[in-house]
Amino acid sequence: MKTSRLSIEEREKIFYYLAQHRSYREIGTLLGRSHTTISREVKRNITEGEYSPSVAENRAIRRYKSSGRRRKIDMNDQLFEEVFQRFFQKWSPEQISGYLKGKYKGNLQMQISHESIYQYIYAKAKGELKKHLVKYFRQQGRKNKNRKLFHEKRGQIPDAISIHDRPKEVEDRQVPGHWEGDLIMGRNHKSALGVLVERTTRYLFLVPLKAKKAKDVREGFAHQFAEVPEELKMSLTYDRGKEMVQHKIFTEDTKIPVYFADPHAPWQRGSCENTNGLVRDFFPKGTDFSKVSYEEIKHVQDMLNERVRKTLQWKSPEFMFNQLIGAIKP
């Protein structure tokens, strides 16, 4: 069982499962937590007779913030919440810092270096949280060791169109039909599962792949997009993975332009990054996707599309996506 702090996603899942009248023991099993952890979490965060994930998260943040020497992050509640919401979602300090620089351009009060985040958390962290931080230090060491080689291997996509050339309408999510794509890698990187997320509705397609080569990814994604109305095939944003090296052929086949995010910038594809985490709840690291059936993959897809989301005002991606399709049909 896990022993680290509950994340906001876990708290939202608790709320969802309680609405299904599941027991604490069932919820604990689904989340990989002790049933006593679920019971304690629910009982101390009841508001007006109902468990509230947002209240629970805010209380946890205040408890964590209550001790230690005050730094810049202590004196800015908004900065504190931005940093720790993502840290507890297992973002690295480097990712958090880059995200804030992009989101709050020109606002120095809302920017902080990843070194400062490391120092702040390391000074305050204890127990499991400290172990979590040490894991990030190890990752940094491995990355820095071959940074030049890493850059040489990534980003070499012929005729790649930068995300900075993508239409501005995509950024505010008001215009539907813009998608983000990625691969979730299987055991020993020998198998993979394709992920396509519509940015406005968060509607998800999980794409079973025969292999993770460029041709298989291109054909798998193109086949999936054949089910989507033309009006909802505006663009696809992808990372710099070599599996999308055939993007020009993909665009010729589907008429969907492909834009590529900057290296090491997961916040530029936030919908996909968040969705990958949800998918990992069902297919943890080490899964061999070649042994997972089509039916099981699509069952998980349906479950995630039917799950209500706070960001959608507690509506589901399926509901929102069907509304778009209904508006398109004459």
Confidence (pLDDT) at 128: 56
Whole-prediction pTM: 0.55
CATH, domain range 161-328: 3.30.420.10
Confidence (pLDDT) at 77: 79
CB 89 within 8 A of CB 76: no
Instruction: Please give the chain's pLDDT, 330 residues, in tens.
Output: 554 678 888 888 998 899 899 999 999 899 888 888 899 899 888 877 888 888 888 887 776 655 544 567 777 878 888 887 777 666 777 778 888 888 888 888 898 988 888 777 766 655 555 565 555 554 444 444 444 443 444 447 889 999 999 988 888 888 899 999 999 999 888 899 999 999 999 999 999 998 889 999 999 999 999 999 999 999 999 998 889 999 999 999 999 999 999 888 888 888 898 899 889 989 998 899 999 999 999 999 999 999 888 888 888 999 999 998 888 766
Confidence (pLDDT) at 90: 63
Confidence (pLDDT) at 65: 57
Calpha distance 207→226 (Å, rounded)? 12
Structure tokens at 239: 């990372």
What are the boundaries of each domain within the chain?
8-144, 161-328
